[in-house]
């Protein structure tokens, strides 16, 4: 007697998506460290972004085209327009944030990044017309508060807001808006497009957009250090081939607001990694803010279960 395979129930799919999301966030936190090392080695931020997107697009090409090309060709024009918009927003988010931290200190950039759950919730509520449970709003508020507590706690000893704070703040805000728009569009598309073709098309479109930005700097590759390129490759494996596919998988089952709230846990992961590998003991603001963020994520997960 054989048992027919049954599809996973809805709750189980969300549980798997949540586990994948948390793993992706952990990989992203390590990838940020690798990207910072690449910047310190003199590799320009746009070049790092292009390397990440270009290599990821190449890796996913043989995995996608042999079986998914007929499906891709049949996609309607409206889907292609949304894909183009998602690719532009995704690339812009990466480019804008990496440029923003050149002009404003990490403290202020972190405070602005903590606004992402609020912007995502507003977009999801008014653009997708999706009502959110009260516990989701509580989780959003706690995650934002935790991020601000950690950022403000790091203000001791920080001199100045950066070389061009107004430009840095503007770039950070634009990065948040692009990231939220990418999540909202991704939620819409991932209900129609399977994981592999969506991931390949998103990475390919974003890589082409990034190529236009970095084209003037490509001829100067002789000046790039091998150490910088190595760190960029590490960031590519961790962030682009590990973290972002996890986010793409999760957005098909989880609310964009929940994903943006959970993304605040990157700050918490960063503190843990700094303690384990850099022997940096977290202070009271980091511990308190991390606990608040964790509480916010738990509230948001509870709200997701109710939907």
CA distance linking residue 72 with residue 80, whole number of Å: 9
Confidence of residue 267 (pLDDT cuts 50, 70, 90): low
DSSP 173: H
Q: What are the tens digits of pLDDT across the range 7-57?
A: 545 557 788 888 898 888 888 888 877 887 887 788 888 888 899 999 999
> Is 251 within a domain?
yes
Are the CB atoms for 286 and 150 separated by under 8 Å?
yes
Confidence of residue 152 (pLDDT cuts 50, 70, 90): low
0.85 exceeded by pTM:
no
Which residues 6+ apart lie within 8 Å of 153 measured at CB? 283, 284, 285, 286, 288, 289
Which residues 6+ apart lie within 8 Å of 180 measured at CB? 116, 119, 120, 123, 256, 260
> Is 12 within a domain?
no
CA distance linking residue 49 with residue 53, whole number of Å: 6
Q: Is 280 helix (H, G, I), strand (E, B) or coil?
A: coil
> Is 258 within a domain?
yes
> Is 53 within a domain?
yes
Q: What are the tens digits of pLDDT across the range 73-124?
A: 999 999 999 999 999 999 998 888 877 767 776 556 666 776 777 777 777 7
Q: Where are the alpha helices (DSSP H) in the chain?
A: 10-40, 45-73, 77-103, 106-113, 116-126, 134-153, 165-190, 195-218, 226-235, 244-251, 256-262, 265-277, 284-306
> Is 7 within a domain?
no
Domain limits for position 86: 27-215+226-306
Which residues 6+ apart lie within 8 Å of 237 measured at CB? none
> Is 221 within a domain?
no
Which of residues 189 and 280 earns the better pLDDT score? Answer: 189
Nearest to 191 by CA among 103, 240, 128: 128
Would you tell me the crossing angle of helices 77-103 and 195-218 to the nearest 10 degrees? Answer: 50
For the chain, how many structural domains are there in total? 1
> Is 83 within a domain?
yes
> Is 3 within a domain?
no
């Amino acid at each position: 007697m054989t048992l027919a395979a049954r599809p996973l129930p809805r709750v189980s799919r969300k549980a798997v998506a949540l586990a994948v999301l948390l793993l992706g966030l952990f990989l992203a936190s390590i990838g940020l460290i690798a990207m910072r090392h690449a910047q310190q080695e003199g590799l320009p931020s746009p070049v790092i972004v292009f390397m990440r997107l270009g290599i990821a697009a190449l890796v996913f090409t043989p995995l996608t085209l042999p079986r998914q090309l007929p499906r891709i060709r049949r996609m309607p024009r409206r889907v292609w327009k949304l894909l183009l918009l998602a690719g532009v927003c995704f690339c812009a988010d990466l480019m804008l944030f990496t440029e923003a931290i050149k002009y404003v200190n990490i403290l202020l950039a972190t405070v602005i990044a903590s606004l992402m759950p609020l912007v995502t919730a507003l977009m999801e509520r008014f653009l997708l017309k999706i009502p959110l449970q009260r516990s989701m709003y509580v989780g959003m508020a706690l995650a934002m508060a935790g991020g601000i507590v950690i950022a403000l706690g790091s203000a001791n000893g920080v001199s100045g807001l950066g070389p061009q704070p107004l430009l840095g703040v503007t770039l950070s805000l634009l990065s948040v808006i692009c990231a939220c728009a990418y999540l909202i569009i991704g939620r819409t598309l991932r209900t129609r497009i399977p994981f592999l073709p969506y991931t390949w098309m998103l990475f390919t479109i974003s890589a082409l957009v990034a190529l236009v930005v970095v084209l003037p700097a490509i001829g100067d590759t002789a000046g790039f250090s091998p150490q910088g390129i190595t760190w960029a490759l590490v960031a590519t494996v961790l962030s682009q081939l590990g973290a972002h596919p996890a986010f793409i998988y999760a957005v098909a089952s989880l609310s964009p607001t929940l994903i943006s709230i959970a993304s605040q846990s990157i700050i918490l992961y960063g503190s843990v990694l700094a303690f384990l590998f850099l022997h940096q003991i977290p202070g009271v603001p980091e511990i308190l803010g991390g606990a608040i963020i964790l509480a916010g994520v738990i509230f948001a997960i509870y709200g997701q279960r109710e939907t």
